Copies of this chain bind each other. A is one copy, B any other.
Amino acid sequence: NSNPHPKNTNVRISLPAVCFVWQLAMIILFGFFIRYNAESDVHWKQENKNISRSDIENDFYFRYPSFQDVHVMIFVGFGFLMTFLKRYSFGAVGFNLLIAAFGLQWALLMQGWFHSLDPMDGKIKIGVESMINADFCVASCLIAYGAVLGKVSPVQLMVMTLFGVTLYAVEEYIILNLIHARDAGGSMVIHTFGAYYGLSISWMLYRPNLDKRLNGSVYHSDVFAMIGTLFLWMFWPSFNSAISYHGDGQHRAAINTYLSLAATVLTTVAISSLSQKAGKLDMVHIQNSTLAGGVAVGTAAEFMLMPYGSLIVGFCCGIISTLGYIYLTPFMEKYLKIQDTCGIHNLHAMPGVIGGIVGAITAAAASEGVYGKEGLKTVFDFTGKWENMLPTQQGGHQAAGLCVALCFGIGGGILVGCVLRLPIWGDAPDDHCFDDELYWEVPEDEESIPPILEYDNHIRNQAG
């Protein structure tokens, strides 16, 4: 066989092995560690009667609608956003499903060990909030997927997700619990971490001879991608409010996100139109940069950011993100050797960092006049050992949290990138990236549809 291709992309042993073994491991670990929490356990109802509490006060009714919106963002939002490539839609939406389905199980365990381990029996107790947090954790890995879309094998994606979820759980614990930063919508914890994790991996896997013929869209694939864009755009208010505290916290987070995203759309369109010769819009900008405002308002979503504050954040992010697509992405590829298929640096990294900074400033500027004494306590959780914390201090802690997210993203990405460079994972050769053909049974072309003209005529005759 005189075939010149050096790479073996056959994953017939590695992919099933990884899926089977890891899923079996999940079952065993779940058996040892995971149980229903008080609100999903059968004893809740009984206990309810004793204290005359209404069934509607189960956390399920506070959070389940938001959970489902987040769930749609993870699977349809991220999945379809990446279908824009002309011949990688199966990989976009299919591998997205695969790694999210694995990631959420592993996230329930990792986050559980750090956050919801019951000291009484050593078990992790899960409920609707755990499901939201697992989805959040998975989001960071799907963001990272965006940087390497079309260039890695499904086995590499599973490895990326395994390590990504692990790193996420640790940085989340450090940022939220040890540093005591607040991050309702995860600008730092999810977006900054996830984006730099993916970019660092992409840097480690740099392909100088990448063939870009398939790295582009066709008309219909761009419309498919808009399904992803719109579900992300519409449900982002649910994302940023999903784990805020009950009542006005969730309410305010939703309003702030709704407004920020609206402003982003207008500035994205403005910059996109300005950047083209005849003022034409570029679908890449509309598909991605319109979402930057949701990322950037994440940390401060439940703070008293004020409606105009949300608009300002959205205004700036639309500009920065679109300019990033025009100038920064080509620059990064050429000079920094970072190939970023979906432009996650513009959609998640920069807006995530901005979100962290906005959160730090808003926290530092929080005053008793605006929040009230009790409000400060609730919003910033100044309780327990943090009882005497001041808003200005909180601002510093927010900034520290941002640094941790950056370090974990970059450091973790370089480490995992080293692992992924091993020649055992079945990744694509440079001249067959962005091609579903390698990992999917692709149906034949549309031209194979036979013309059935004669029969149609027959029907017309009948009808007469």
Contacts and interface: CB of A to CB of B under 8 A. Distances in A.
A217 B281 contact: no
Contact of A8 (B216, B442, B462): B462
Given A75-B234, A101-B266, A251 B39 contact: yes
Nearest to A235: B68
> 7 shortest A-B CB distances, which residue pairs?
A12-B279, A101-B265, A277-B463, A19-B270, A278-B463, A42-B375, A55-B246
Among A55, A57, A60, max chain B CB count under 10 A is at A60
Contact of A265 (B31, B60, B98, B444): B98
A238 interface: yes
Interface in A429-447: 431-432, 435, 437-446
A299 interface: no
A407 interface: no
Contacts of A181: none
B213 A55 contact: no
Interface string A252-290: 101100110111111101110110111111110010001
**How many monomers of this chain does the complex have?**
3
A218 B12 contact: no
Given A15-B270, A97-B286, 19 more contacts: A9-B278, A19-B267, A27-B315, A31-B306, A34-B307, A36-B255, A43-B248, A48-B247, A55-B246, A75-B234, A90-B281, A94-B283, A101-B261, A104-B258, A217-B443, A218-B444, A276-B441, A278-B463, A280-B440
A387 interface: no
A10 interface: yes
Contact of A44 (B64, B94, B247, B463): B247
Contact of A93 (B105, B223, B263, B370): B223
A26 interface: yes
A114 interface: no
Among A8, A101, A261, A431, max chain B CB count under 10 A is at A101
Contacts of A312: 27
Contacts of A213: 450
Contacts of A426: 279
A52 interface: no
Given A3-B458, A278-B9, A278-B459, A26 B263 contact: yes
Interface string A213-225: 1101111101110
A16 interface: yes
A206 interface: no
B462 A68 contact: no
A197 interface: no
B266 A23 contact: yes
Given A12-B463, A372-B43, A283 B248 contact: no
Interface string A26-43: 111011001110011111
A74 to B, nearest CB: 8
Contacts of A427: none
Contact of A247 (B30, B58, B264, B283): B58
A390 interface: no
